[in-house]
Amino acid sequence: QVTLRESGPALVKPTQTLTLTCTFSGFSLSTSGMCVSWIRQPPGKALEWLALIDWDDDKYYSTSLKTRLTISKDTSKNQVVLTMTNMDPVDTATYYCARIYGGPGGGHFDYWGQGTLVTVSS
């Protein structure tokens, strides 16, 4: 059974760095073709893809947020971490992690975490 769960602070101040952790089970990120991605959704708005890391430690980032994002993995802990620097109120959103099996570009988001709401406010 595949599960993913996001964790991190519910509230961050402007200019701070956000660190989110995705803890997953039911699959291994060392398996060829396996990837974990981060996606966010501001309240009442559409989904926005942020970043992806694959089994080979290759990383892909949203063009508009590339300078602020870092994605990493700890295969032994079954975790993927996303950091986002210089947080702003417009970054207020629900942040999801999701699995892709089939490599970057070759698959779809077949399993999602429940999401974690992050509010940016002083």
Partner 1 sequence: SYELTQPLSVSVALGQTARITCGGNNIGSKNVHWYQQKPGQAPVLVIYRDSNRPSGIPERFSGSNSGNTATLTISRAQAGDEADYYCQVWDSSTALYVFGTGTKVTVL
Binding site for partner 1 (CB under 8 A): 37, 39, 46-49, 52, 60, 62-63, 96, 104-106, 108-110, 112-115
DSSP reduced 3-state for 45:
coil
Please identify, using beta-carbon distances, which residue of 47 and 79 lies nearer to partner 1: 47
**Pairing between strand 11-12 and 116-120?**
parallel
* Interatomic CA distance for residues 40 and 47, integer angstroms: 6
* Least distance (Å) between residue 98 CB and partner 1: 8
Sign of CA dihedral 73, 75, 80, 83: negative
* Least distance (Å) between residue 21 CB and partner 1: 17
* Least distance (Å) between residue 16 CB and partner 1: 26
Please identify, using beta-carbon distances, which residue of 29 and 101 lies nearer to partner 1: 101
Please identify, using beta-carbon distances, which residue of 14 and 42 lies nearer to partner 1: 42
Q: What is the dihedral of CA 47, 105, 64, 19, to 10 degrees?
A: 70
